[in-house]
Amino acid sequence: MARFDLPDLGEGLEDAEVVRWLVEVGDNVAIDQPIVEVETAKATVVIPSPYAGQVASVFAAAGEIVDVGAPLFSVDEDHTSSGDDPPVLVGYGRSAGPARRRPRVTPASTGEGWGAAVLAKPAIRKLAKDLGVDLAGIQGSGPGGSITRSDVETAAQPATDQSTDDLDDQAAGSRLTGTRRAIAAAMEKTLSIPDAAAWLTADASGLLEIRSDINDNSVTPFALAMRIVVAGLVRFPGLNARFTDDRLFESSEVHLGIATQTERGLLVPVIANAQTMGAIALGRQIASVAAQARAGSLTPSALSGSTFTATNYGAFGVHGGHPILNPPNIAILGLGLIANRPWVTDGGDIGIRPMIELTIVFDHRFNDGSTPSSFLRYVADVMADAAALREILEP
């Protein structure tokens, strides 16, 4: 019997939620055949089988969360791999430390009315205790008769003659899962960061002039703005950094995170070594990773490792906003809608110019106002000056 444990699916990930099983117990499977689809904080991943044989058991139902290193499924092998250790899928690797295991079942008797030899995970037991549900009275619907979250929540509902409207109100709630659960946790984490912001209104005339000269649809105004941003980060490396394990790591390489709205929520695909790309290459890469993010085809590694993040809320027709930091990055730039507005020129004349609001939010522990403001000023000045932008179209 060969058991497969959930592998480390990406940087900093501790667990994954089972979305759906692609096989059933008793099915025959081949090596590399897709077995289960799981959702991590960063992506949806299909896990193949490293074994050939018959599926003997699955250790989590759809909707349940499995820790890295915990058993996921087992197979009666036709052909076994050598060695005693569970296999590692190519491209995922092992955790740096010992696996944090969450047992499938924990038969135990508390002696206090919580049942004996019930099949439930610790998290399910805690939920039952919080809701005042006796696990001994529940018939589990999970694998092997184990009790699931859904079983506990159903048992917690009062059996009264409520009206249909009342029942509809109860059913309206939904728990956070997968990407949305990870986003919520990340947003809570940012509350502890002492951030600060600076913003200005920039003239985008030069940027739009250059855009009209480039015959490539992937080079959008946003893509050109990102080329300016990358050049600015090379000049101001104090913003191009990650804070992890109580240490600040500045980088000479710009790994640009692009906040992208998808059906699963907000994802941040990363363009590695953006400082080596010209405007056209960068524009095509931005279009590519955004399309992959929306299609859900990015791997977890493609959503990790950014040193700076940019978000384009102008795409939604708004002029400005206050971006939220994307830890472990220490700064994020927000770009609003480019819109024609009356503007007083340097000569004192009033004219109509394509204007854009730029906002930088930064971790105040590592930067005072000088560097972020100087960076913002640089980006704005190049946007306004076609000649200056033309000089940095290529790295």
Same domain, 210 and 281: yes
Same domain, 20 and 157: no
Q: How many whole angstroms separate alpha carbon 29 and alpha carbon 77? A: 9
Same domain, 170 and 200: no
Task: Flag whether 258 is in a domain.
Answer: yes
Helices (H), the chain: 122-131, 149-156, 164-171, 178-190, 205-213, 221-235, 279-295, 370-384, 386-391
Question: Residue 41 class from Cβ within 10 Å (0-12 exposed, 13-18 middle, 19+ buried)?
Answer: buried
Same domain, 166 and 281: no
Q: What is the CATH number of the domain that holds 268?
A: 3.30.559.10
Upper half-sphere CA count for residue 97 (Cβ side, 13 Å): 6
Q: What is the CATH number of the domain that holds 168?
A: 4.10.320.10
Instruction: Give the pLDDT mean for 200-213.
Output: 96
Catalytic annotation present for 368: yes
Catalytic residue from among 32, 134, 216, 368: 368
Max mean pLDDT among 48-57, 74-83, 231-240, 299-308 falls in 231-240
The per-residue pLDDT for range 138-194, each reduced to its tens digit, is 888 876 677 887 888 788 876 544 455 554 555 556 667 667 777 777 777 788 899
What is the per-residue pLDDT for 82?
Answer: 43
Same domain, 247 and 364: yes
Same domain, 251 and 347: yes
Q: What is the CATH number of the domain that holds 31?
A: 2.40.50.100
Catalytic residue from among 67, 76, 364, 381: 364
The per-residue pLDDT for range 179-189, each reduced to its tens digit, is 777 777 777 77
Task: Flag whether 372 is in a domain.
Answer: yes
What is the per-residue pLDDT for 54?
Answer: 93
Same domain, 330 and 367: yes
Instruction: Give the pLDDT mean for 332-354.
Output: 93
Cα distances (angstroms) measured from residue 276 to each of 181, 292, 318, 389 = 35, 22, 31, 16
* Global confidence as pTM: 0.66
Structural domain for 24, as ranges: 2-79
Same domain, 207 and 346: yes
- Could you give the angle at which helices 221-235 and 279-295 cross, rounded to 10 degrees? 110
Task: Flag whether 137 is in a domain.
Answer: yes
Residue 77 CB coordination number (10 Å)? 14
Instruction: Break the chain down into helix, strand, coil percent, rounded to 5.
Output: 30, 25, 45
3 state DSSP class of 376 = helix
Q: Which residues contact 358 (CB under 8 A, 6 or more apart)?
A: 199, 200, 201, 202, 333, 334, 335, 336, 376, 379, 380
Q: How many whole angstroms separate alpha carbon 318 and alpha carbon 335? A: 9
Q: How many whole angstroms separate alpha carbon 383 and alpha carbon 140? A: 62
Domain count, the chain: 3
3 state DSSP class of 165 = helix
Instruction: Give the pLDDT mean for 194-223.
Output: 95
Q: What 8-state DSSP symbol labels residue 74? A: E
Average pLDDT, the chain: 83
Task: Flag whether 45 is in a domain.
Answer: yes
Task: Flag whether 92 is in a domain.
Answer: no
Same domain, 214 and 362: yes
Task: Output the six-digit token pair for 52.
Answer: 């050939």
At residue 331 the predicted structure's pLDDT band, cuts being 50, 70 and 90, is very high
Task: Flag whether 221 is in a domain.
Answer: yes
